[in-house]
Amino acid sequence: MPSTYAQPRYAAAPTPTGPEHHPVVVAGAGLVGLTLALDLARRGVRVVVLDDDDTVSLGSRAICFAKRTLEIFGRLGLGARFLDKGITWKTGRVFHRDREAYAFDLLPEDGHEYPAFVNLQQYYAEEWLVEACIAAGVDLRWKHRITKVAHDADGATLRAQTPDGDYVLRADWLLACDGARSFIRDSLGLPFTGPVFRDRFLIADVVIRGDVPFPTERWFWFDPPFHPGRSVLLHKQPDNVWRIDFQLGWDSDPEAEKRPEKVIPRVAAMLGAEVPFDLEWVSVYTFRCRRLERFRHGRVIFAGDAAHQVSPFGARGGNSGVQDADNLAWKLAFVLAGRAPAALLDSYGAERVAAADENILHSTRSTDFIAPKGAAARAYRDAVLDLSARHAFARPLVNSGRLSRPTIHADSPLNDVTGWPGGTVPGTPAPDAPVLSDGRPDWLLRHIGGDFKLLVFGPPDAALAATLPAGIAALFVTAEDVPGALWDHAGLAAARFAAPRGGAVLLRPDQHVAARFVTPDPAALRAAFHRALALGPERIAGGRERPDA
């Protein structure tokens, strides 16, 4: 058990006395399942969450929360807690043997509410999500283990086991967020395909009780003197906890490597014998890069590690899972409210499968560079590292983990690709920018999300607002202080969108760009809105989806 964190224990939910029927059941109360449940509940959807445990995750696990993920948590009302508790950073350093190869800045420009990354142990994030879910009315059922799943064209039937007995519940929609060893995925017989890399890494969460020369940055070593022939990654976390990842090699014994008598000498060699420390949590992992072929299977939809898995380097696992939830929640809420056909959910698969493939590609390339296969690959890597200290052209070739960035859904079926060249293209998350609202400092993204918005770069226009379809609200942004508009006083909002004066951007409820208009035209706007909701005539005419659709 961690010495710096008191693990909460939640009471098991009562066992229902008879069969139940719910619109949405989420399997798994981890980071992704809780985020998805909270987002749905805030949109008015009744959600039941089933989990076989009675607490949050043990150990730090996903610790690097990227800017886009922080923006999502900001929309869900939790962003300030991450900033207050977490460790903010944007600089990374790469070392080769006993020297620094180069450093990089992940967010060199100002004018963002959230930093490039915040380091925070996953258990804090989950605990805050539990509190928010309870406040939003989510039905959290701890110690309710799913033991059987059957799905059909209208939903899924589940059997759950509790300390007091079993019961059956019916879900119109089952959202599988039950992790890399997903019971739902296995029950449906769905293959989880992709390579398992022949290497192992040790995670050691260490409480350091002395001074160390490590700033609040990401430090990565290739072949350091204290761990020769291997690589090491260092991150600072809250509560004076440091996360250290040691490459072990494929021939290492995972159980033996977790023993204190093996871990302590490794850490001491890195920190120095004079630095006192305590072990907080230890684990060993193997690289895996794999995914389901499809994320939607009729009324069963997969998200997070249940749908895809990548190596930890690059912080792409937890961040992509939260972004899955962000993508799925509004679409399912619109379908349940009758505002969109079930075909809208096909775009979740189209967009997030592409995101998973992008993450798997980056993760695979990182793994190949960190753990080269053969003498030639190692010689290439070492040459790149040597050159990077003196020549800028070599630095992009160094790959200690391409750090998480949001996927641009450029090929999404929901996009309207008209508009202006450059800037924030359709499929991109909206960039943030500082604005003034009624004279007070504010941020653009605080005014976007939850429903569709038409962001107009011009003064308030009542006639334009009156022509908008139901479900779209206008938000005006101006270069001058104009009543009824957000004042883009630094000019960053218009610059980041590359928006012409009078231009407009249609934004989805997940803050992604759906369409752009040099001049807002009611007919073009309505067509783009319908496209973003999968409301084409062929969609509306379609029948009920198949169980395997």
Q: What is the DSSP string of 378-436?
A: HHHHHHHHHHHTT-GGGGGG--S---------TT-TT----S-SSSS-TTSBPPP-EEE
Quote the CA–CA distance of 189 and 166 in Å, as a whole number: 23
CATH code of domain 20-88+113-192+291-364: 3.50.50.60
Quote the CA–CA distance of 163 and 331 in Å, as a whole number: 35
Q: Is there a contact between 248 and 230 (Cβ–Cβ < 8 Å)?
A: yes
Quote the CA–CA distance of 473 and 166 in Å, as a whole number: 47
Q: 25 forms bridges with which residues in the sheet?
A: 48, 174
Question: pLDDT tens, position by position, for the chain (549 residues)?
Answer: 578 999 999 999 999 998 999 999 999 999 999 999 999 999 999 999 999 999 999 887 889 999 999 999 999 999 999 999 999 989 999 999 999 998 888 887 889 999 999 999 999 999 999 999 999 999 999 999 999 999 999 999 999 999 999 999 999 999 999 999 999 999 999 999 887 777 889 999 999 987 788 889 999 999 999 999 999 999 999 999 999 999 998 889 999 999 999 999 999 999 988 899 999 999 998 878 899 999 999 999 999 999 999 877 667 788 999 999 999 999 999 999 999 999 999 999 999 999 999 888 888 888 788 888 889 989 999 999 999 888 999 888 888 877 767 889 999 999 998 889 889 999 999 999 999 999 999 999 999 988 999 999 999 999 999 999 999 999 999 999 999 999 999 999 999 999 999 999 999 999 999 999 999 999 999 999 999 999 975 343 233 333 333
Count CA atoms within 13 Å of residue 365 on its CB side: 13
Residue 121, token pair as written in the block: 């142990």
Residue 167, token pair as written in the block: 């019961």
Calculate ∠ Cα 521-329-16, nearest 5°: 145
Residue 382, token pair as written in the block: 């070492």
DSSP per position, 220-268: EEES-TTSTTSEEEEEEEGGGEEEEEEE--TTS-HHHHTSHHHHHHHHH
Q: Would you kindly state where each structural domain of the chain is located, as residue ranges? A: 20-88+113-192+291-364, 434-532
Q: 301 forms bridges with which residues in the sheet?
A: 175, 296
Backbone angles phi and psi of 540, in degrees to 5:
-65, -35
pTM: 0.94
- Residue with the two structure tokens 């192992």: 200
CA dihedral of residues 78, 82, 83, 84 (deg, nearest 10): 100
CA distances to 313, 365, 370, 377, 390 from 380, in Å: 20, 14, 12, 5, 16
Q: Which residues have a Cβ under 8 Å from the Cβ of 226 and sit 6 or more positions away?
A: 232, 269, 270
* Best CATH choice for the domain 434-532 from the list 3.30.365.10, 3.40.720.10, 3.40.30.120, 3.40.1410.10: 3.40.30.120
pLDDT value of position 190 = 96
Quote the CA–CA distance of 452 and 506 in Å, as a whole number: 7
Rounded to the nearest 5 percent, the helix, strand and coil shares of the chain are: 30, 30, 40
DSSP strand pairing (87-89 vs 117-119): antiparallel
Residue 155, token pair as written in the block: 């939903």
Quote the CA–CA distance of 337 and 43 in Å, as a whole number: 10
Q: Is there a contact between 359 and 320 (Cβ–Cβ < 8 Å)?
A: yes
Residue 410, token pair as written in the block: 């450029």
Q: Which residues have a Cβ under 8 Å from the Cβ of 47 and sit 6 or more positions away?
A: 22, 23, 24, 25, 26, 37, 40, 41, 138, 139
Handedness of CA 42, 44, 45, 50 (dihedral sign): positive
Q: Which amino acid is at 65?
A: F
CA distances to 97, 207, 225, 246 from 263, in Å: 21, 13, 17, 10
Count CA atoms within 13 Å of residue 187 on its CB side: 21
Quote the CA–CA distance of 201 and 401 in Å, as a whole number: 14
Quote the CA–CA distance of 71 and 255 in Å, as a whole number: 38
pLDDT value of position 547 = 35
Q: Is there a contact between 233 and 219 (Cβ–Cβ < 8 Å)?
A: yes
Q: Is there a contact between 5 and 278 (Cβ–Cβ < 8 Å)?
A: no
